[in-house]
Structures are given as C-alpha cells and as structure tokens.
Amino acid sequence: MQVFAMLLAVTETQWLSPDERAAWVRFTAVLELLPAALDLQLSQDAGMTHFDYFTLAMLSEAPDRVLRTSALAARTNATLPRLSRVLSRLEAAGFVDRAPDEDDRRATNVTLTEAGWEKVVETAPGHVAAVRRLVIDSLAPEQVTQLSAISTALLRQLDPEGRMLATDNDSHEQH
C-alpha cells in the first residue's frame, strides 16, 4: 500500500510540458524586468516609485479625489502598513492630505492636493510613453486583446474578490 501511495504521489505531480515551460520562463522574465523598467523611468523623470505614482493616480480618478486609506489600499493592493508609510511620505511632499473621517473617526480620508494633481498631470505623459514603448507598441493589436483576456483569467485566481478592479461603488458601501 505504501509503495502504491508513493507511486501515486509521484505520478500526481503534474509537470509542465515543454511549451508550457517555455511560456512560463519567458513570462517570469517579464515579471522580473517590467516592474523594474517602470520604476526606473518614474524615478528618473519624477523622483518617485511606480507605487507612489499609482497611488496618486488612483486618487486622481476617485470622486472628489478623496479615498479612505483602506479603499486606497485595496485599489493599489498594498498592505495597510506599507500604504501608511507611503502616505506619510507623500503627505510630507505635499501631494496628499490626511484627515480623520467625520462619521467614523477611526478611518482616514486621503485627499489629493492641488500639488499632487499637478504632479500626476506632469508625470503621466512620460509614464504613458514608457508603457507604450515597453508594452503596447511591442504588441500587435490582437495581442493587446489577448493580454487583456489572459490577465482577466489570471486575476480570477489571484484576486477573486476583484479588489484591484473595484468600481467607485465600493467607496459608497454601507457601513
């Protein structure tokens, strides 16, 4: 019985086919290199990380450019400790304001300041250009469509609740 179980266990290990393996190796390389490339452009041209920029960008798209810290954490997929420190930095730089929520004073409302808005506006073109150069323009139009579908499929596993694709409704949920 024990030998049989071991054989089963070994057999159960589903390895990757050569094609799957090749796809995975290449994709792993992209996973490693693309974030670094994006961070490089933003740190050179705007003195901030991709995460900083993304945080400001999410705020800039929120109604009234305000979001609760935890809603912002969901959109940026950050842990609360991480976001807390990033916000401290962005607040010190004058790009956001933090104020306790009037209705629930445990919560903090994060507001994009005028300076923060301007920072996004002046940083966005260069960032978009980098995204074009590194990603969109490297792909055929149908590949962009494919990448979108593939990403959607992957997010079903990675983010079943769709935190990162949250609509604006979320900020108006019941409490």
Per CB under 7 A, residues contacting DNA are 36, 40, 49, 51, 68-71, 73, 78-89, 98, 101, 103-108, 175
Stretch that binds its own copies, among 22-30, 66-74, 93-101, 107-115 (CB under 8 A): 22-30
Q: What share of the chain is helix, strand, coil (3-state, %, to 5)?
A: 70, 5, 20
- Closest to DNA by CB, 68 vs 163, is 68
Q: Does 132 bind its own copies (CB under 8 A)?
A: yes
**Among DNA, its own copies, none, partner that 64 touches (CB below 5 to 8 angstroms by kind):** none
- For strand 96-100 and strand 108-112, is the pairing parallel, antiparallel, or unpaired? antiparallel
Residue appearing with tokens 């300041």: 113
> Of 34, 62, 60, nearest to 122 (Cα)?
60
Q: Any contact of residue 88 with its own copies (CB under 8 A)? A: no
Q: Does 70 bind its own copies (CB under 8 A)?
A: no
Q: Which two tokens stand for residue 46?
A: 């705007």
User: What is the rounded distance in angstroms from the CA atom of residue 104 to the CA atom of residue 169?
Assistant: 18
User: Does residue number 150 form part of the binding site for its own copies (CB under 8 A)?
Assistant: yes
List, edge to edge, every strand of the sheet that includes 96-100. Answer: 66-68, 108-112, 96-100
Q: How far apart are CA 70 and CA 84, in angstroms?
A: 10
Distance of closest approach, residue 128 Cβ to its own copies, in angstroms: 6
Which residues of this chain interact with its own copies, rule CB under 8 A? Answer: 13-16, 19-20, 22-35, 37, 54, 76-77, 125, 128-129, 131-136, 138-139, 143-159, 164-165
